[in-house]
Amino acid sequence: MLSLSVPLDVLLKNLTEERLITPLDRHFALELAALEQENSEIFVIIAALLSHQLSSQHTCLPLAQIDFNNPFKQQVSQIKMTLDAEQLTAQLQQFNAIGSADEHKPLILDNGRLYLQRYFHFERSIADKLNRLSQQKNSIDNTELSTMLAELYPQQQGTIDWQKVATATAACQNLAVITGGPGTGKTTTVTKLLLLLCQQQTPVIKLVAPTGKAAARLSESIKASKQRLQQDLVGQVSSLDLNALKLVPEEASTLHRLLGVIPNSHKFRHDSHNPLRLDLLVVDEASMVDLPMMYKLLDALPPHAKLILLGDQDQLASVEAGAVLADICQGLYHPQNKSWQMRYSPQQSQQLSQLSGYDLSQYAQSHSGLGDSLCMLMHSHRFQGDAGIGQLANAVNKASASDIKQVWQQGYQELSWFNHHGKGLQNRGLKSLLNQAVEQYSLYLTQIHNDDIEPQTIINSYNQYRILAAMRAGDYGVDGINQSVTNALKQAKLIQPNQEFYLGRPIIIQSNDYNLGLFNGDIGIILADKAANNRLMAYFIQADGQILKVLPARLPSHETCYAMTVHKSQGSEFATVALVLPPFPSLSQWQLLTKELIYTAITRAKSHFSCLGNKKVFETASLQITKRASGLAKDYGKQLMLNSK
């Protein structure tokens, strides 16, 4: 059944040295085997595989996906397993440490997938909670709601306004999942929804996002949406009380702050025993919420509350295990034509047709599951239909090599390409990127010497441009690019980096500090405090738009931020974005270069996108689709019918 060409301890040591598993994977497998008194080689190997799955952001190990000839993908396999998934399942069921769904064992084997017990619990609990929420319908006056929707969304001839349908969906359900790409109007839609819900009642509404940066962005967007609505609707509506806009909150917080952090504990103050005090929770950038955090959030949600998830299912998934938003939306994706399509129950289709004025009968299905709670927004208001950024984002999202090539060949003004040519600082493409960085960053670095310009203006100028890197280490990672840009700005006499904290240095926070109110991903700039004899301080714009000043010596862990990772850029947008790709990716770097990463980088740009790389790497990465192993959209999806056809 199993044979090793080297002893087990040597095999694990070799796998660790080859970076095919982590030291944690090795330690977990050996410790679990010792604790459970399982001395089988196959148990240790499967435990190491499972641990490695988790460190690769999968929530489980599907046995059918194991390559039995070379499970760890070694150059020369040191393992030979003469069995298939069915035989392996039978053998694993003999181990005392592995139980079934209703047993409390360290590992759970369920429907061909092996889990750590707590991740199995997370998935099943999330599925149950979403299922219950989706079945909770709100009693509404269809005629009154239809009238208000008509005033919020004037009828468009020939096309369905999915923002209107999404608003109607969320008004009818206790669960609403509103997804779509950048500029499709997710925040505008939810602002109109909140205006509707505040017409005759004053619900307790909370706005949250996974990071401080995303929360600040959500606050800005809600505030701007309220102002636009006030201007657009005043004098134009009769059934809506625009004073209700005052009840729509503008300040968003992080998920951690909402749930209540307990120092030195993985638990939060709010859970099922101490639920959140709210009637409606809006979660932005839901694609960034990992499986454990989604479980804790749903666990703390009071039974009567409405939940609205906003996000882009095509963006990068969470840094930790799971891809909850993508799993929820999976049942609406058609792989054949690579498109999304709504799927409603006949009852929901009829009600939404009545409320919106559109004929939605073509989307009725006998089994819709969560479809009644889902709505995809497909029209981008940020990118014009023929704009280069939108065209490139669509081509990458479809993983179409021919479309990607065609877009780059069109010569769009919004797109620039810097080709790797040469090595090190002699790389002509890198020189072009650094010239761009000097030009773009010169505005804010000039403003810092003008006493009449406020810190908010300086930070906003800095945020017009950002370099995004696929990885952290190396000459073409965040570390190397930050150093290259620092040197280029110094040569241009725009900065004087002769000490750690110098005037104009941008910084990104690397860890949470709840006492200071600074969180992982927050970005600020070192500026002179005019009120304190030009003493250098770190300036940050908070979620409420106010300035936070912090002594540099008190800052939590941080680093320079002329360049940042694509992951850290989620929830942000910049006028101009430059993506940096390595010229010759290593095997570990290729694991980071995916369609979702390229798409996320492109869609951070509003006006211009450029890329330093070679087009073969760009195209290959765009075809590499992230697939995270999960049971949420599969067997637990039978409850939710997320993937029913």
Query: What radius of gyration do the chain's Cα atoms show?
Result: 26
Of the chain, the percentage scoring pLDDT greater than 70 comes to 94
What is the residue-averaged pLDDT of the chain?
A: 87
pLDDT digits (tens, 9 = 90+) for 34-73: 888 888 889 999 999 999 999 888 999 999 888 888 888 8
pLDDT of 461: 95
DSSP-assigned letter for residue 498:
S
Question: Which residue has 């002509």 as its token pair?
Answer: 428
Q: Answer whether 282's CB lies under 8 Å from 276's CB.
A: no
Nearest-5° angle of CA 553, CA 555, CA 558? 120
Q: What does the alpha-carbon distance between residue 428 and residue 420 come to, in Å, rounded to a whole number?
A: 7
Q: Answer whether 640's CB lies under 8 Å from 127's CB.
A: yes
Q: What does the alpha-carbon distance between residue 589 and residue 258 come to, in Å, rounded to a whole number?
A: 35
How would you list the strands of the sheet with 535-541, edge to edge?
Answer: 547-550, 535-541, 523-529, 506-509, 558-560
H runs (alpha helix) in 320-425: 324-329, 346-356, 388-397, 401-409
* List of long-range contacts for 74-78, beta carbons under 8 Å, 24+ apart: 74/14, 74/15, 74/18, 74/20, 75/18, 78/4, 78/5, 78/6, 78/11, 78/14
The length of the chain in residues reads: 645
- Cβ neighbours of residue 554 under 8 Å, at least 6 residues apart? 516
Is a pLDDT exceeding 70 seen at residue 368? no
Q: Please state the rounded mean pLDDT for residues 291-308.
A: 94
> From the CB of residue 46, how many other CB atoms can be counted at a distance below 10 Å?
24
pLDDT of 426: 73
Highest mean pLDDT among 150-164, 312-326, 457-471, 534-548: 457-471
Q: What does the alpha-carbon distance between residue 211 and residue 234 come to, in Å, rounded to a whole number?
A: 34
For residue 522, give the nearest of 300, 155, 256 by alpha carbon.
Answer: 256
Q: Which amino acid is at 101?
A: A
pLDDT of 377: 87
Q: Answer whether 185's CB lies under 8 Å from 383's CB.
A: no
Question: Which residue has 């150059």 as its token pair?
Answer: 75
Q: pLDDT-based confidence at 107, cuts 50/70/90?
A: very high
Q: Answer whether 516's CB lies under 8 Å from 185's CB.
A: no
pLDDT digits (tens, 9 = 90+) for 123-136: 999 989 998 898 88
Is a pLDDT exceeding 50 seen at residue 514? yes
Is a pLDDT exceeding 50 seen at residue 137? yes
Q: What does the alpha-carbon distance between residue 310 and residue 222 come to, in Å, rounded to a whole number?
A: 13
Handedness of CA 138, 143, 145, 146 (dihedral sign): positive
pLDDT of 445: 95
H runs (alpha helix) in 448-585: 455-462, 478-491, 566-569
pLDDT of 561: 95
Q: What does the alpha-carbon distance between residue 563 and residue 469 come to, in Å, rounded to a whole number?
A: 7
Is a pLDDT exceeding 80 seen at residue 396? yes
Task: Identify the three-state secondary structure at position 252.
Answer: strand
Task: List b or e across 317-352, with b for residues whose CB sees 16 or more CB atoms inside 10 angstroms.
Answer: bbeebbbbbbbbbbbbbeeeeeebebbbbeebbebb
Residue, of 638 and 365, whose pLDDT is higher = 365
pLDDT digits (tens, 9 = 90+) for 560-592: 999 999 988 887 889 999 999 999 888 778 888
Task: List b or e across 75-113, with b for residues whose CB sees 16 or more CB atoms inside 10 angstroms.
Answer: eeebbebeeeeeebbebbeebebbbeeeeeebbbbbebb
Is a pLDDT exceeding 60 seen at residue 427? yes
Cα–Cα distances (Å) from 205 to 90, 194, 277, 455, 542, in that order, read 50, 9, 9, 31, 20
pLDDT digits (tens, 9 = 90+) for 441-471: 999 999 999 988 999 999 999 999 999 999 8
Q: Please state the rounded mean pLDDT for residues 100-125.
A: 91
> From the CB of residue 142, how many other CB atoms can be counted at a distance below 10 Å?
12
Q: Answer whether 539's CB lies under 8 Å from 459's CB.
A: yes
DSSP-assigned letter for residue 513:
B
Is a pLDDT exceeding 50 seen at residue 644? no
Q: What does residue 329 show for φ and ψ, rounded to 5 degrees?
A: -85, -5
pLDDT digits (tens, 9 = 90+) for 245-268: 888 998 888 898 899 888 777 889
Q: Please state the rounded mean pLDDT for residues 482-487.
A: 95
Q: What does the alpha-carbon distance between residue 394 and residue 35 come to, in Å, rounded to a whole number?
A: 50
338 phi-psi bin (left φ>0, alpha ψ -120 to 50, beta other) = left
For residue 630, give the nearest of 84, 105, 127 by alpha carbon.
Answer: 127
Task: Identify the three-state secondary structure at position 521.
Answer: coil
Is a pLDDT exceeding 70 seen at residue 386? no
pLDDT of 643: 45
Give Cα 397 to chain centroid, integer Å.
Answer: 15
pLDDT of 591: 81
Give 3-state DSSP helix, strand, coil % of the chain, rounded to 5.
45, 20, 40
pLDDT of 622: 93
Is a pLDDT exceeding 90 seen at residue 524? yes
Nearest-5° angle of CA 279, CA 280, CA 282? 160
Q: What does the alpha-carbon distance between residue 74 and residue 555 come to, in Å, rounded to a whole number?
A: 43
Task: Identify the three-state secondary structure at position 611.
Answer: strand
Q: What does the alpha-carbon distance between residue 269 and residue 514 come to, in Å, rounded to a whole number?
A: 14
Q: What does the alpha-carbon distance between residue 151 and residue 244 come to, in Å, rounded to a whole number?
A: 15
Q: Answer whether 331's CB lies under 8 Å from 643's CB.
A: yes
Residue, of 578 and 342, whose pLDDT is higher = 578
Cα–Cα distances (Å) from 638 to 74, 100, 291, 349, in that order, read 36, 18, 19, 21
Task: Find residue 176's DSSP bridge partners.
Answer: 308
